[in-house]
């Protein structure tokens, strides 16, 4: 029984060696065909993105550009809005007037976020005016 398995193993190895030689011969024929066309066998288009960084991109921190650093003001945004509304007295200030004041101070973003937090805290009252778009804000 042992001699049968050894014979089977030897015939399998012989068969694999023959197939390997056939594959090597086929590869040689393919290389010859590439050489006839003036191509290298390894010259083939690669799929996907090329390795490395994209051209024109700079390495560094991802996030805000360096030109948009946070600014500091002499008065906080909350105090600025409260002072502006206080100057308008009982008449109140409209949301558009507050937004224009916010931009005139050179502040970025929107004043409406702070208006909402001041209303929620009870420091401002919001009054809607019938027939007019927008609201009027009064000091509480």
At residue 63 the predicted structure's pLDDT band, cuts being 50, 70 and 90, is low
Kindly report, residue by residue over 20-36, the tens digit of the pLDDT.
999 999 999 988 888 88
User: What confidence score (pLDDT) does residue 98 get?
Assistant: 93
| Contact by Cβ (8 Å): 82, 75 | no
Of residues 77 and 44, more confidently modeled: 77
What domains lie within the chain, and their CATH numbers? 1-41 (no CATH), 77-139 (1.10.10.10)
Ramachandran angles phi, psi of 66, nearest 5° = -65, -20
Mean pLDDT of the chain: 85
CA distance 119 to 86: 14
Closest CA to 112 of 94, 130, 129: 94
User: What confidence score (pLDDT) does residue 34 get?
Assistant: 84
User: What confidence score (pLDDT) does residue 1 get?
Assistant: 59
User: What confidence score (pLDDT) does residue 62 get?
Assistant: 61
CA 91: distance to chain centroid?
Answer: 45
In a 13 Å sphere around the CA of 113, the CA atoms on its Cβ side amount to 6
Kindly report, residue by residue over 82-126, the tens digit of the pLDDT.
999 999 888 889 999 999 999 999 888 889 999 999 999 999 999
The pairing of strands 93-94 and 124-128 is unpaired
């Amino acid at each position: 029984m042992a001699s049968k398995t050894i014979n089977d193993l030897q015939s399998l190895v012989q068969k694999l060696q023959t197939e390997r030689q056939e594959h090597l011969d086929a590869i040689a024929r393919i290389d010859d065909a590439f050489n006839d066309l003036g191509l290298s066998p390894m010259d083939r288009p690669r799929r996907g993105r090329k390795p490395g960084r994209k051209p024109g991109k700079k390495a560094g921190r991802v996030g805000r550009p360096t030109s948009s650093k946070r600014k500091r003001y002499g008065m906080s945004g909350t105090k600025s809005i409260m002072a502006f509304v206080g100057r308008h007295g009982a008449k109140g200030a409209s949301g558009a007037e507050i937004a224009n004041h916010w931009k005139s101070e050179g502040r970025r973003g929107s004043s409406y976020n702070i208006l909402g937090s001041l209303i929620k805290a009870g420091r401002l009252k919001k009054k809607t005016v019938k027939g007019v778009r927008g609201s009027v804000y009064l000091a509480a």
